[in-house]
Structure 1
Amino acid sequence: MTEHRDRIAALAERARSDRESFDPPADPPDEERALSYLRDGVGDVVAVYVEGRTGEFARFDESEMAGLERALNDWLALYARCYGQEIETDFTVREVAEMVVKTHDIRDTAQLLTRVPSPEARRARS
């Protein structure tokens, strides 16, 4: 157990609440809401993970990692639903964190991992 346990529990609860209260957009995409799931959800999960892995290295226990990954995948699934897509998500926090470090952009990370929106749709909106 790490000092991050309470933050992880709060993130998992917030993600569960977001998942349960989600109302799909009538006319997808709802890019603003999708981006909020990334910044205020996925970004928070990645931040806790990176914090724990740098400086005073924290070894997250199985329960903590499960909470982080459940929250991460809930928010990535909600991100996709904002685009009218239902996807199965099974990403690890590590792979998402590494991708964020490589791309320097949470939106690019989500698009690369989920393929939502499709590259063609994304180019059409640009």
Structure 2
Amino acid sequence: METGIGYPDINTLEPLVDALGITLTELMNCARDEEIIASLEIARSQRKRMVKRIAGGGVLCIAGMFMLLYALKLFITRTWTFMLPGSDGPTAVFVAGRIGNFPPAVIVIGIIGGVALVLGIVTIIRANNTDH
């Protein structure tokens, strides 16, 4: 955050005035404070939106990868297990089953995981390309 104590690096002044759409004289004299502040607020909100989109895309990618890996595990082992919540130690209750010749769960989980992964990647790419 700018405190008014120092000055920006001279190499950043030209890109800064170009980005703000003002002249160097206006920047140095702070002649258009309201417009500069509005431009900086727009840039901050765009950055926040981009970070949220990238984070959301990352979550989708991670969830998609876990689903694809779980579908692969189901396909290879053709078995599934589930531990009931709240049970532990010797009283733990496990439910297990075998997937038959046609594993619909593998297909559904694989499709959902693939879609989540693709949506995550597209979201990240679009967030990086649209907010510049």
**Normalising by the residue count of structure 2, what TM-score does the alignment of the two structures yield?**
0.28
Provide TM-score, normalisation by structure 1. Answer: 0.29
- Structure number with greater Rg is 2
